[in-house]
Amino acid sequence: MTDYFRKKVHSDEIIATFDDMLIIPGYTNFDIDKIDISSKLGKYEFHVPIISSAMDTVTAEEMAIKMALLGGLGVLHRNCSLQKQLEMVRKVKRARSFVIDDVATIKVDAKLAEAKMRMEKDGISGIVVINDENKVCGIFTKRDFPYKEEIMNTGDVKDYMTKNVVSIDPGASREEALEMLFQHRIEKLPITENGHLKGLITTKDLKPEFPLASKDEEGRLLCALALSPKFPENISSLKLLKEIDHYTDIFFIDVAAFYKDVDIRGTKNLMESLESDFVLGNIGTYEAAEFLLTKCDFSEQFIGLKVGMGSGSICSTSIQTGVGAPTLYATAQVADAIADYNPKIGLIADGGFKNPGDLPKAIAVGADLIMSGHFFAGCEESPGYVDTIQGRKVKVYRGMGSKEARTSEFILDRYIEGESSKTLPEGVSDYVPFVGSVSGVLSTLKEGLRNGMIYAGANNISNMKKAKVGIISNAGQIEQRPHDLMGRY
């Protein structure tokens, strides 16, 4: 049945979607608590194979941080200036780390107002005070601000900071740092060498609150950012992009259709100038994947392909242009090309997910991870505010091809460029229900994935890819949903 399904989706007979397919139940011979849903993308391992989309109403720094803490990944959107992108990646990297190398500092002769502005801008509760020689002079935290507002405008940091700073030597272990923090009842521990600042350790970064967190080799949260395939137009933009590269683990090339010569050439140029790894996309066919895997000679920075075109709940590309590759179809196609040419390349199924049961379907036809905007747009961690319409709490969710999103100059190259395409929207904007914290959403999605794997008889992602699948008729689609009841479904 699986071979038949693959043959069908590779032909012109059918372009299957999630609703067209079911996984055939399998034999389960393992304990339920032995289910392993972890997956890999290049050298990176994720305990939760779920990614939030690079959309400006889905993933900014707050969502990216929470997704990484919970074991997944959030791809920061690029619908903003490079300077704003730099601020976002810095915040993600600073959020949880055993040792913070990029320490927020302020000069000893600074005013209180400057300290307040810096702390609010960086979203931090304290700052290290240094002199011109980069020697630590004190620690200033939110608790050190004077009560009187008039002093805030004129006072000096040096008059209110903690001057007797407890510090630790470079190379100290986590256990040594914990002991010193507890012994002195402090939250911030500068790392110094002959008085010079070398880093910072904080209490929150040592707490094992998130054992599944997606981290880099230095213990910092993994950071991913959407990237245009266009090479920067000037030296200053390139310099800024290289600074962004310093904080970013994975760049996700972010265009609706990557199978274009101009995007491929631009990406190769970017790889030569940047050090981070790359996921390329989106594509939708075996032929596109075959070309990228065999004809383009990408560097080893190329670690993954993102697939699916026109499936998103707020995407209208297929309606507006008549061209598309639904995510399930695209996943099956590209999975076979990866198996044929380079099994080390990761596969991300992007968009079109409506129910938790769609996740095991995507894995079954070859995906390593799934990416969604729909599931996460209504979370409290997504950008934007919670509104109330007809008594229901909602948040705005918009496609990056919508008129509203494309008023910005930063993502015009995500779709077809030129005068003829400026007025053609390839997405819509609307409200989605507010669903609370992303942790609850991920819990539901993980349960749907695990239960699907149990029914299929697969105890890990690799075995899930061997599950038997089949096409279901229209009558079968109706029958598998609640039906013949008095209530509305």
Alpha-helical regions (H) of 366-487:
438-456, 461-464, 474-479
Structure tokens at 350: 């992007």
Specify the DSSP class assigned to residue 205: H
Secondary-structure breakdown of the chain: helix, strand, coil percentages, each rounded to the nearest 5: 35, 20, 40
Q: What does the chain come to in residues?
A: 489
Long-range CB pairs of 244-247, under 8 A, 24+ apart, other chains included? 244/82, 244/85, 244/86, 244/89, 245/274, 245/275, 245/276, 247/86, 247/89, 247/90, 247/92, 247/93, 247/102, 247/223
- Name 212's Cβ contacts closer than 8 Å, sequence gap at least 6: 47, 48, 70, 71
Distance CA 412, CA 316 (A): 16
Give φ, ψ of 148 to 5 degrees.
-75, 130
Beta bridge partners of 427: 315
Specify the DSSP class assigned to residue 151: H
Q: Which of 137, 223, 315, 379 is catalytic?
A: 315
Hey, what's the torsion of the CAs at 469, 471, 477, 482, to 10 degrees?
A: -10
Is 26 strand, coil or helix?
coil
With CA atoms as reference, report the closest residue to 365 among 337, 329, 399: 329
With CA atoms as reference, report the closest residue to 382 among 390, 391, 373: 373
Residue 406 CA, chain-centre distance (Å), reads 21
Q: How many CB atoms lie within 10 A of CB 442?
A: 21
- Name 343's Cβ contacts closer than 8 Å, sequence gap at least 6: none
Is 356 strand, coil or helix?
coil
Q: Is 96 a catalytic residue?
A: no
Prior bond of 474 cis (ω within 30°): no
Question: Using CA of residue 150, residue 152, residue 154, residue 157, what is the dihedral sign?
Answer: positive
Q: Is 406 a catalytic residue?
A: no
Which amino acid appears at position 266 of this protein? G
Q: Which residues are catalytic?
A: 315, 414
